[in-house]
Structure 1
Amino acid sequence: MPDLSRIKEREKLKPKAGDEPHWQRLRQGCYLGFRPSKKGKRGTWFARAYDPDGNKYRRKSLGDYGALSGHDVFSQAKVDAEGWTETVESGGERARDMVTVKDACEAYLAEKPGAIAEGVFRRHVYSDPIARVKLDKLRRHHLRSWRKRLEEAPALLTRSKKGEKRWKERAKSTVNRDMVPLRAALGQVLKPGAPNTDAAWQEALRPFKGADKRRELYLDRDERKRMIEAFDGEALPFVKALCLLPLRPGALASLTVRDFDKRTRSLTIGKDKNDNPRQISLPQVIADFFTEQVKGKMPAAPIFTRGGGEAWNKDAWKYPIKEAVKVAGLPLAASAYTLRHSVITDLIRARLPILTVAQLSGTSVAMIEKHYGHLVRDDAEEALASIAF
C-alpha cells in the first residue's frame, strides 16, 4: 500500500482501472483512499470503513480539499476518514449532508462513477418527485409510485438522421435495468425494512421475474463476414472487433491504447457493465489486428476511433451497422449486440467451458447458463447419442 502522507509518493500514483482509489490502512476496518485525477487536477480522497451491521465495507467521498495544501491535506483527510469510520461503526449514521434520495444518488455516483447510472438518475430520478423525498421518510409507497411512473414512461426506440424520435412501450427487462442504480444507491445508505411493511422500501424495487428474454437472432460466421464486407467506412475496424471478441459494444468502445499490451498479447477491459476490470489473452491473429489499430496512437487515445479521433458510441455505430445489414441482406433486426450474442454462441458451440466464456464476455456463469444453456444441452444429447448402440 502507498504512504499517502508523503506528497511526492502521492504525486507519482497513476489512476487505477475502474477509477478505484489507492488505499492506505489507518487501522483495522478503517482506510483512507486517494484517486489521482486523470485531468491533472488535485485528485479525490475517500474513506472506507467496515460496517459490522451490514457485514461489509462502505465508502464515502471526502472531496479534494481544495482549500488546503501540503501536509494539511493528508492530515485533514485522515481526521475525516477516522471520524466517519467511528460513525459507521457506531451504527451507520448517514452523513449530515445526505438528506434526500437525490443526495444518495449523487453520493453513489461520487463513489462509483458510471455513465449508465448517471443516465438513469438524470432521466428518471432527479426530475421526479422521488428525488425530494427525505431518506428517513422514504417508504415503500414512495417507490411503488416511482416504479409505476417508470413503467409508464415510453422508451426511446430510435432517432432518425433528421432528428425525429420514435418511442415504444417500456419493456419489463428495461424497467429491471433502470431500477438497478437506484436500488444500489439506496442500499448503500439504508438498511432493508421489515418485510411486508411500508418500511420495506426495497420490496418496491424487486425486478420482474422472467423479463430478460433469450436473444434469438444469430448470425453465423459467413453472415458476419458478409456484414463486414458491406462496410467501406470508418466503422469497419470497430465492427470487425465485435465479430472477433464477445465484448459489449460499450466496453469495446471504451478501450484505450494503454489497455492493449502487444508484448504479452493481453487486453484489459476496464469499463464494463459490472465495473470489475478483467484481462484476457488474445490469440496471435487477433493481437495482430489490435496491433494495427493502435499503431501511431497515444496511450490515452481510443483504440477504435471515428473520423475526428473520438470514441464510438451507440448513436454513432447504430446507423453504419443498419446500413451494412441492409447491403448484406441480413435480418433487419441485427445490431451490435447481435454480434456479441453470435460470438458467444459460437464459443459455446466450440465446447469452450462455460466458465471461460463467462470470463471472456464479462458476465456470470448463471447468465451464460440461462441464455445459452440450451446449446450445452443440445451438445449433451449429441454426445449421448454418439455412444448409443
Structure 2
Amino acid sequence: MPSAETDTPAKRARLAPRKNPYWTGVGGGRGGVSLGYRKSASGPGVWIGKVVIDGRRVEGRIGPGDDKGADAGMTFRAAVAETLAWSRQQYEAIAAATDAGGSHTAPTVRSAIAAYTAARIRRNAKDGTGAQRRLARHVLSDKRLADLPLQKLRASTIEAWRDRLPIAEPDAEKISSDSRPSISPSTVNRLLNDFRAALNAAAEKHRRELPAHLPGEIRVGTKAMPAQSNARKQFLTDDEVAALIDAAFAVDEDGDFGRLVLMLAATGARYSQVADIRVADLQVTNGRVMVPRSKKGKKAATVGRIAVPLSSETIARLRPALDGRPLDEALLTRRHMKQVAGAEWERVGRRSWKDSEMARPWAATRKAAGLSASVVPYSLRHTSILRGLRAGLPVRLVASLHDTSVAMIEAHYSAYIVDASEELARRAMLTMGSGPAFAEAAE
C-alpha cells in the first residue's frame, strides 16, 4: 500500500524530524492496523506498529528504516508485512488474556524462568533447586536481560548477555577481573541448557502471541560453547584405583565408605546413580549389579536399570551390605550419628549417602592412597570409561554401560577411541612373514 510520505527513502528524507510518527493505515481501516515512521534528527528513522483492539491501543517497534546511511534497514513493503504479522500477535495475546479471565501480562525472560524452575522443582526438588539457583545468579541478576519481553528477544541479546558473564579462560585463576567468581565453560553450557529449556517452554506456551522466529533466535543464542580442554580429565592407573579402594575401607571401620568407592570404581556410574542402588539390585548369582539410570533430562518412560558385570572379588567385598537387609532399601548406607545431652554423640541408625557427606572421607582416602589433592571422585568414572575403550569394547557398549551417548564418548574420549581402534586394526592387518618375497626383503 503506497504512502505519499513514507514509502521510499527519498520521501522520508524530506520529512521533518518529530517524536510523533507519520502514520499510514495498512489494515482494518480506521482504528485498525497502522504503520508509523518516526523521523530522527540524526541517523535512520524507525518503523512503529500500532493496533487498536476493542478500544485498546498498542504500539511496538518494528525495526529501523532503510534510510540513506543505514547499514541494514527495512523497506516500506517489508515493514508493512512485519506490522501485519505483529498485529496478529497482539490480537492473539488479547484473545489469550480473555481465555485466562482477562489477567494476562506479556511474557518476559523473568516469567519464563519462574515458570520453568517451578515445574523443575515439582519434578525433582534437588535438580530443580540447582537450576533455579544457577538461573537466578547468572540470568535474573542481569536486569537488561531478565526484564526483556520475549517478543523482543533476539539471539544477539542472548549473546551479549553471555559476553557479560565472567567466564574463566584456560588455566586462569578462579576470580575474574571484576571480582566476581569466574565460571568454567562447562558450567556455562549447563546454564545455557537450563536457559534454553526455560525459553523454549515459554515460547511453546505463548506461541500464539510470540514471533514465529523466536525458537530460531533461542537456538542460535543458546548454542553451547566449544568444550575447553576436554582432555583435562583425570585418568587413574589400575594400581591407583586399587589404592583408593583399599584406603577407603581403611578410613572407615564400618566399611561403608569403602563399599561406596568400590561401587563407583567398578561401575563408573555417577554418584547419584550409585546412591540409588537398592539391595535387590546386587545380583550375586548373576555376578552383576543393576545400576539405575540417571533421571536427569529423561522422560519417565526411559528410566530403568543397566546391568553392569562385577568381578567375584568386588561382590565379596560388597556382600556385608546384603546381610539381613530388605530388598527395597538402599544398598550403600552409612551410620547416622546424633548429638545428645552435652557433647556426646550416639548412633541412631543408618541412612543413604548424601553428596555432601563424601567430601571429608574422600580427602582422607586420597591422602592415605598417596594421590594428588586434585584427584576427585569423578575420576573413577572417567577411568572406567577409558578402561572399557582400551579393552576394545565397542563405543556403543561403553556408552550404554555408563548411561551416556555415543556422541558424548566420541566427543570427549576421541583420542583414546583412535588408540583402541588402531590396536584392534593391527591385530587384523595383513602379514606376509611366511612368503618368499617377504623372506628376500628381510635379508
With structure 2 as the length reference, what TM-score do the two structures score?
A: 0.55
Correspondence list, 1:201-280, <5 A: 201-211=218-228, 213-231=230-248, 232-233=251-252, 234-257=256-279, 259-260=281-282, 265-275=288-298, 276-280=302-306
Q: Which amino acid aligns with 1:283?
A: P
Structure 1 spans left out of the alignment, 5+ residues: 1-89, 158-166
Equivalent residues of 1:248, 1:272 under 8 A apart: no
Q: Residue 176 of structure 1 aligns to which amino acid in structure 2?
A: N
Map of 2:307 onto structure 1: 281
Partner of 1:319: 360
Q: In structure 2, do the counterparts of structure 1 residues 106 and 134 end up closer, same or farther at CA, with 3 Å as the change threshold?
A: farther
Q: Distance in 1 between matches of 2:149 and 2:281?
A: 42
Deviation of the 1:383 alpha carbon = 3.9
Q: Highest CA radius of gyration, 1 or 2?
A: 2
Aligned length in residues: 290
Alignment map for 1:1-389 (pairs within 5 Å):
96=100, 99=107, 100-109=111-120, 112-113=123-124, 115-125=126-136, 128=141, 129=143, 135-136=150-151, 138-140=153-155, 143-144=158-159, 146-148=161-163, 150-151=165-166, 169-190=182-203, 200-211=217-228, 213-231=230-248, 232-233=251-252, 234-257=256-279, 259-260=281-282, 265-275=288-298, 276-283=302-309, 285=312, 286=314, 290-298=318-326, 301-308=329-336, 309-386=350-427, 387=429, 388-389=431-432
Relative to structure 1, the CA distance from residue 102 to residue 327 in structure 2 (aligned partners, 3 Å threshold; closer, same or farther) is: same
The aligned amino acid for 2:195 is L
1:228 deviates by 1.5
Taking the aligned partners of 2:226 and 2:285, their CA distance within structure 1 comes to 46
Deviates more, 1:107-116 or 1:314-323: 107-116
- The SS at the match of 2:351 is coil
Equivalent pair of 1:358/1:364 in contact (CA under 8 Å): yes
Q: Alignment partner of 2:378: what SS?
A: helix
CA contact (8 A) 2:321 2:331 kept: yes
- How far 1:260 sits from its partner (Å)? 4.8
User: Which AA in structure 1 matches 2:356?
Assistant: D
Query: Is residue 196–residue 218 contact of structure 2 (8 Å, CA) maintained in 1?
Result: no
For 1:33, the equivalent position in structure 2 comes to: none
| Residue 45 of structure 1: aligned partner | none
Q: Residues 266 and 329 from structure 1, CA distance in 2 versus in 1: closer, same or farther, beyond 3 angstroms? A: closer
3-state SS of the aligned residue for 1:310?
A: strand
1:135 is displaced (CA, Å) by: 4.6
Q: Deviation digits for residues 68-115 of structure 1, max 9, x if unmatched?
A: xxxxxxxxxxxxxxxxxxxxxx99x79958951233313531664363
1:120-150 CA-to-partner distances (Å, cap 9, x unmatched) read: 2124327534555555555546544554554
C-alpha contact 1:101 1:134 (8 A) present in aligned 2: no
User: Which residue number in structure 2 is paired with residue 5 of structure 1?
Assistant: none
Counterparts of 1:351 and 1:363, CA distance in 2: 18
- Shift of the 150–107 alpha-carbon distance from structure 1 to 2, 3 Å rule, reads same
Counterpart AA for 1:363: T
Q: Which residue of 2 aligns with 1:53?
A: none
Mark the CA change 1:107 to 1:169 in structure 2 (over 3 Å): closer, same or farther.
closer
Paired with 2:289 and 2:367, the residues of 1 have a C-alpha distance of 35
| DSSP 3-state at the match of 2:368 | helix
Q: Is the 8 A contact 1:260 1:266 kept in 2?
A: yes
**Using a 3 Å threshold, how does the CA distance of structure 1 residues 299 and 131 change in structure 2: closer, same or farther?**
farther
Larger RCO, structure (CA 8 Å, separation 6 or more): 1
Q: CA deviation at 1:230?
A: 1.6
Cα deviation per residue 1:12-71 (whole Å; 9 max; x = unaligned)? xxxxxxxxxxxxxxxxxxxxxxxxxxxxxxxxxxxxxxxxxxxxxxxxxxxxxxxxxxxx
Q: Which runs of 5+ in 2 are unaligned?
A: 1-91, 175-179, 337-349, 433-443
Q: Is the 8 A contact 2:385 2:398 kept in 1?
A: yes
d(CA) in 2 for partners of 1:366 and 1:288?
35
**CA positional deviation for 1:241:** 0.7
Percent sequence identity over aligned pairs: 26
Q: Check whether the contact 2:392–2:421 (CA below 8 A) recurs between aligned residues.
A: no
**Cα separation, 1, equivalents of 2:387 and 2:215:** 48
Distance 1:102 1:385 in 2: 53
| In structure 1, C-alpha distance between the alignment counterparts of 2:168 and 2:212, rounded to whole Å | 30
Instruction: Determine helix, strand or coil for the equivalent of 1:230.
Output: helix
CA RMSD of aligned residues (A): 3.9
Q: Compared with structure 1, are the counterparts of its residues 184 and 292 closer, same or farther at alpha carbon in structure 2 (3 Å cutoff)? A: farther
